[in-house]
Structure 1
Amino acid sequence: MTHSLESVYARIEQEVAARADRLWDVSLALHREPETAYEERRAAGLLAGELERAGFLVERGVAGLPTAFTARTGTAAELGGGPSVALLMEYDALPQLGHACGHNLIAAAGLGAALAVRAALDPIAGTLSAVGTPAEETGGGKLDEVAAGLFDGVDAALMFHPGVYDWTWAPLTASAQVRVGFHGRAAHPTGNPTEGIDALGALIQLFNTLGVLDRRLPAGSHIQGIVTEGGRATNIVPDYAEGLFGLRGETTSALAELVDELRSCAQGVALATGTTAEVTDVGGRYEHFRVNDVLSGLFARHLQAAGITLTEPEAGVYLGSSDIGNVSTRVPAIHPFVAIMGSKGSDHTPQFARAAAGPRGRRVMLAAARALAGTAADVLLRPDVPARAWAAFEKKAAAGL
């Protein structure tokens, strides 16, 4: 078995190397023509076409999302049974900044891994899937894909993310967008001021209240808000005001508690100011990322073969939120960070966008493709791996992590 696995790893390395130029061409094509959330038509078409030409069974428009797709292969792809691996590809860009989060590298690495595994293991005993996941930056395509059952029966959901750290897993918090609207009563501020109920004053009071709340929030939790509606004229007491709030919690349960706190604060302010408050979620909630130590360890060992060493994340450092969290709380998953620029930099910047099309980006993309493919092979060929991955998943779930 050891000799067989080593042969497979060697074949994967060869297959990724043979496709290196084409994978980089795909990555640069995505980078040159960035498409934002739910608009990734060229990206989805390019990736799905590459997989289809390689013999994958491709289904476009899955989960009710025109720019989502699945590509499957393996002896159990239609019949079910056997181990199942899903390689995830993100490809949406940021407005005005393009691929400043490096999703072009994520897509190309996932594509390369899928093609290499199919070539190295054909025929595959089990199921290998490549899943196109749109709208990670805004909206959360993976939420719809989870709800549609695309990850049902999957033993390992695998992806990597370019970044400024080399970390085995991503400390990603749960997040939600919540709208708070206050209804008051319009009046002239000098003609009949006592008749007015100032909705904007209520919203401002909510911001002040949340400022006090912020001082006692636990690590990983915060609330950031903006005013989206505050009145139309200075000589009219606003009868409606609205704010949009971004909330994050270290865990999904911590986020739920924070949303409840926001709702309580809004209702308290409404009671104090004579207004009425409406609190509504905007879109779905991103859950926290549940690390799977078994799969993350395998990926790290494969990446080490390319000379990249991953470490545990720094304690107390959080790197935002992602809809991969909603996948990771349902099936074993990985989301390592691999640096394409130094830790003094940051993603979501023009500098990071340039790095995503630079020589270090290419090296990381190819190394990640190889490591993802090796990890997928471990799941498909070693019965102990999915068993241990699920055991680790259940242990984290039982602990609420």
Structure 2
Amino acid sequence: MSLSVEDDVVGARLRADVAQRADALWEVALALHEDPEYAFAEHRAAARLSGELDKAGFVVEHGVAGMSTAFTARSGRGRPAVALLLEYDALPGLGHACGHNLIAAAGLGAALALRSVLGETAGCVLAVGTPAEEGGGGKVLEAEAGVFDDVDAALMFHPGVYSWTRAPLTAQVQYRVAFHGRAAHPTGNPTEGIDALAALIELFNVLTSLGRRLPEASHIQGIITRGGTATNIVPEYAEGRFGLRAATNSALDALVAQVRAAADGVALATGTRVETERATLRYDHFNDSDVLSERFAAHLAHAGIDLTPPRPGIQLGSSDIGNVSTRVPAIHPFVAITDEGSDHTPEFAAAAASPRARAVLVASAGALACTAADVLMDASLRERAWARHGGGGESGGGGGGGDR
């Protein structure tokens, strides 16, 4: 049996099931919004979401990939299998200014509808609780732990200020660069000192020059995290942290090599010793499954929401969904909950609890459920998605959602 937009009996049942749950799903979204928790500490959110799935008959596993706030909830077994991704971490000081409360509630609603309508006969539905998207990389750890190894597709949506079929999300990583010099009195014995802070500042100058000739979507942003202890001591140690972004994984590799070379050159020129090391998990660029994104967009149109391709030249940030998309066909469409400003602002946090956000939540949950049913019930769709995924590689979506 196959489910399509033209022959949508199962889809209508799924959307109706989600609609019946609308009040309950909105209650979950508001509860998360009112009680924001941060990376790797989302204990109440994880308990609430996994508890709802457990009550519905899903088999819940806690502590996935060594993270106390990560979980999986499984309905059915074997293949085909589809994963619905639930994000629920908030931003310190801003709360749910990225709308993760809506992502979690939509994934929950889609999973519950699929079990209610399809039971366990169509394959496996896996709801995955993914902590710490905002810089911690919960999905990176889950992917490395094999959570997605037996999955045919990974699905989620992200609230935004655009309604786009896919997310232009870049590859991203942070590096720590530390210079070691020699302390001295700046006037008493200045020739004996080797100024580590001067070396770090010179690295900033070199990287500023490098930034003028980087390709589109490549970017370096640095801060000084340690720069000395007193003005009457030549700093013997200085440290900076640098965020690097690029449109693709290979472009990020090239950028990392350039930063390392620049740091080594500055150390040689200044007589310092330099250490350059990765300071965070790496987020891969997002490789969109256009086959599945188009299907999601068609289902979302039932609710009167039309998605368009992303505007050329706009990069919205980075997310750990990229690391999932390198392993399985994945979607990460944006659905607007406001038409002004940007996320990661107090205004967007307010929008994530607005009437429009409720409508987007219900519509997106229904479209996710229908797209997941397509994956489970349509072998030709799965084959096309996997075929396109195998050929996607570096041509995937480029770069927005998470550690944005």
Distance 1:132 1:240, change over 3 A: same
> For each residue in 1:85-109, what CA deviation from the matched residue of structure 2 results, as whole angstroms up to 9, or x when unmatched?
0000000000010000000000000
Q: TM-score, normalised by structure 2?
A: 0.96
Query: Superposition pairs for residues 249-260 of structure 1, below 5 Å?
Result: 249-260=246-257
Q: Is residue 288–residue 396 contact of structure 2 (8 Å, CA) maintained in 1?
A: no
Residue 125 of structure 1: CA displacement? 2.4
Structure 1 partner of 2:188:
191
Distance 2:385 2:265 in 1: 45
Query: Superposition pairs for residues 265-276 of structure 1, below 5 Å?
Result: 265-276=262-273
Q: Is residue 177–residue 274 contact of structure 2 (8 Å, CA) maintained in 1?
A: yes
Distance 2:127 2:248 in 1: 28
1:66 to 65, 68, 92: 68
Q: Is residue 110–residue 130 contact of structure 1 (8 Å, CA) maintained in 2?
A: yes
Check if 1:327 corresponds to 2:324.
yes
Residue 126 of structure 1: CA displacement? 1.3
Structure 2 partner of 1:376:
372
Q: Is residue 87–residue 157 contact of structure 1 (8 Å, CA) maintained in 2?
A: yes
> For each residue in 1:143-199, what CA deviation from the matched residue of structure 2 results, as whole angstroms up to 9, or x when unmatched?
110011000021110000000000000000000010000000000000000000000
1:230 to 211, 227, 232: 227
> For each residue in 1:13-37, what CA deviation from the matched residue of structure 2 results, as whole angstroms up to 9, or x when unmatched?
1100110000000000000000000
Q: What one-letter code is carried by the residue in structure 2 that aligns with 1:383?
A: A
Look up the SS of the partner of 2:206 in the other structure.
helix
Q: What one-letter code is carried by the residue in structure 1 that aligns with 2:70?
A: A
Distance 1:350 1:290, change over 3 A: same
> For each residue in 1:185-237, what CA deviation from the matched residue of structure 2 results, as whole angstroms up to 9, or x when unmatched?
00000000000000000000000000100011000100000000000100000
Structure 2 partner of 1:140:
137
Query: Superposition pairs for residues 209-228 of structure 1, below 5 Å?
Result: 209-228=206-225
1:388 to 379, 384, 388: 384
User: How many residues get paired?
Assistant: 395
Distance 1:292 1:221 in 2: 23
Look up the SS of the partner of 1:295 in the other structure.
helix
Distance 1:180 1:158, change over 3 A: same
Structure 1 partner of 2:204:
207
Instruction: State the identity as a percent.
Output: 66
Distance 2:2 2:143 in 1: 35
Distance 1:347 1:174 in 2: 19
Q: What one-letter code is carried by the residue in structure 2 that aligns with 1:23?
A: L
Query: Superposition pairs for residues 92-103 of structure 1, below 5 Å?
Result: 92-103=89-100
Q: Is residue 287–residue 394 contact of structure 2 (8 Å, CA) maintained in 1?
A: no
2:106 to 92, 96, 109: 109
Distance 2:384 2:198 in 1: 55
Distance 1:283 1:307 in 2: 40
Distance 1:293 1:2 in 2: 19
Q: What one-letter code is carried by the residue in structure 2 that aligns with 1:104?
A: N
> For each residue in 1:28-72, what CA deviation from the matched residue of structure 2 results, as whole angstroms up to 9, or x when unmatched?
000000000000000000000000000100001111000000000
Distance 1:237 1:334, change over 3 A: same
2:53 to 47, 51, 54: 51
Residue 399 of structure 1: CA displacement? 5.5
Residue 283 of structure 1: CA displacement? 2.0
Check if 1:346 corresponds to 2:348.
no
Q: Which runs of 5+ in 2 are unaligned?
A: 398-404
> For each residue in 1:240-282, what CA deviation from the matched residue of structure 2 results, as whole angstroms up to 9, or x when unmatched?
0000000001001111110110000000000000001100001
Q: Is residue 151–residue 331 contact of structure 1 (8 Å, CA) maintained in 2?
A: yes
Check if 1:359 corresponds to 2:359.
no
1:182 to 179, 183, 188: 179
Structure 1 partner of 2:16:
14
Q: Which runs of 5+ in 1 are unaligned?
A: none
Q: What one-letter code is carried by the residue in structure 2 that aligns with 1:391?
A: A
Q: What one-letter code is carried by the residue in structure 1 that aligns with 2:110?
A: A
Residue 333 of structure 1: CA displacement? 0.1
Large movers: runs of 4+ above 4 Å = 1-5, 398-401
Q: What one-letter code is carried by the residue in structure 2 that aligns with 1:206?
A: L
